[in-house]
Structure 1
């Protein structure tokens, strides 16, 4: 058997096929190694929030990042592959934190971060507070002639308000929404009046109304 003849049989066709294979390989490899850039909007998340605090503000609440990778990598990635999460475990009191975005950003390791905007974000947490304060009711006018005011009582005399510590600590009392007009009262009666909820108060813990009992003696009725 002529080995030389076997090796060089259809030599031209073999070389052409090899050349085509090399070109295809170069094209495929070159395509995989081309690079692209893409921008994503990533929302700021937080977790492990203590029951006695609230996250009041996150500024900004999302950041814009631009990444670089191969064409294949960029086409396979989505916004869900990027996370910006802040662990608030251990935060028990009011505070304002200025944090570096890069320290909390999680992204696919094969990608390169080109830019981050902004480079810092702010998280403000506020401690909740409960406080017992007295209820105040305003009285207007005078009793009519012949009608004697014997007593006036409030139920409850105090209420517990709930809100952010920086605001609740300055609340010293709660007012009734309406005044009691004494000149309209001719007999003993109990009025239910809503309490005034200011912007400092998130809610009333027990009740949001006060009962005002006005006890009177109507001497006019007895003389008729």
Structure 2
């Protein structure tokens, strides 16, 4: 009977059940590889997104300028109303900002009258969320001209449109205020010669009327109207005509005779009155300065106007 070496005999060891730790390690490192790889990929993407949001980025926004000026001075030129500002900060904070949220306040209350160049990096202040800073402005500097604020009375000129009813005309247009006060930078106020009212419509009117609270227009935005409305009286009457009368008698104010004793005159008045006049009803009286004055019947006083006298010089007879 042959004998086997001890080494050739397989010794089977008893198998023991895996411990709880071994099961946990197997589950972590060996089982469900596809799910673990997916989870790892998601984690990497989230990490990249979070770190990307926190990385500083640059954005450009258009912001409004608000000037704080000296109390007695006004800006007389036209500096830009907005500028571009370059901001640096996290993307999520910058994405939450809009131009409507930002105002650049420029304090020039310490400045004197004259031409000034303002560096916005030194003068402008913007309220920004924490973590966002200003890196620059475009333009980086703006010119400003400061002038003394003055007040002045400026003549008012009514503006009318349209035509009165047929057979009527406008005799006169007059505001209840000959002038109104305005205020603004000296150069703008001093260059203002007059102010116009808004249009007053005359169409169809056949009698005088008053337009109340008519707005005054000042096209210069730098000039403020301190009294923005007026009342305007519009005088309307029958259409007038001119007519020349010859052989009108002439005398001095004291009744003395003059040479020539008669002259031709041209008068203005309502057609129905002028056309019914006769030369005998008219008279020229020379005042103390020998200036001709027209005399008419009492019923026509104020209704007939002297336009011209043919004779340029009269000589008193002594």
Query: TM (normalized to structure 2)?
Result: 0.39
Report the structure number with the largest CA radius of gyration. 2
Q: Aligned equivalents of 2:183 and 2:41: distance in 1?
A: 74
Q: Aligned equivalents of 1:75 and 1:27: distance in 2?
A: 21
Ranges in structure 1 where 5+ consecutive residues have no aligned partner: 134-155, 178-196, 209-215
- Could you say if the C-alpha distance between residues 219 and 71 of structure 1 is closer, same or farther in structure 2, counting changes exceeding 3 Å? closer
Query: Is residue 54 from structure 1 mapped to residue 74 from structure 2 by the alignment?
Result: yes
Q: Is the 8 A contact 2:106 2:125 kept in 1?
A: no
Cα RMSD between the aligned structures?
Answer: 5.0
Within a 5 Å distance, the mapping from 1:62-211 to structure 2 comes to 62-90=82-110, 94-103=113-122, 104-106=124-126, 107-113=128-134, 115-130=136-151, 162-166=183-187
* CA displacement 1:132-167 (0-9 Å, x = unmatched): 79xxxxxxxxxxxxxxxxxxxxxx999976543245
Greater length-normalized contact order (CA 8 Å, ≥ 6 residues apart):
1
Aligned equivalent of 1:43? 64
Count of paired positions: 175
Q: Please state how far the C-alpha of 1:40 moved relative to its aligned partner.
A: 0.9
Q: Please state how far the C-alpha of 1:100 moved relative to its aligned partner.
A: 1.6
- SS of 1:27's partner is helix
Q: Please state how far the C-alpha of 1:119 moved relative to its aligned partner.
A: 0.9
Aligned equivalent of 1:5? 19
Aligned equivalent of 1:153? none
Query: TM (normalized to structure 1)?
Result: 0.51
Q: Is the 8 A contact 1:43 1:63 kept in 2?
A: yes
Ranges in structure 2 where 5+ consecutive residues have no aligned partner: 1-15, 155-176, 197-217, 231-290, 298-318
- SS of 1:59's partner is coil
Query: Is residue 30 from structure 1 mapped to residue 48 from structure 2 by the alignment?
Result: yes
- Could you say if the C-alpha distance between residues 89 and 41 of structure 1 is closer, same or farther in structure 2, counting changes exceeding 3 Å? same
* CA displacement 1:71-98 (0-9 Å, x = unmatched): 323323332443311234455x633332
- Could you say if the C-alpha distance between residues 125 and 7 of structure 1 is closer, same or farther in structure 2, counting changes exceeding 3 Å? farther
Q: Is the 8 A contact 1:81 1:108 kept in 2?
A: no
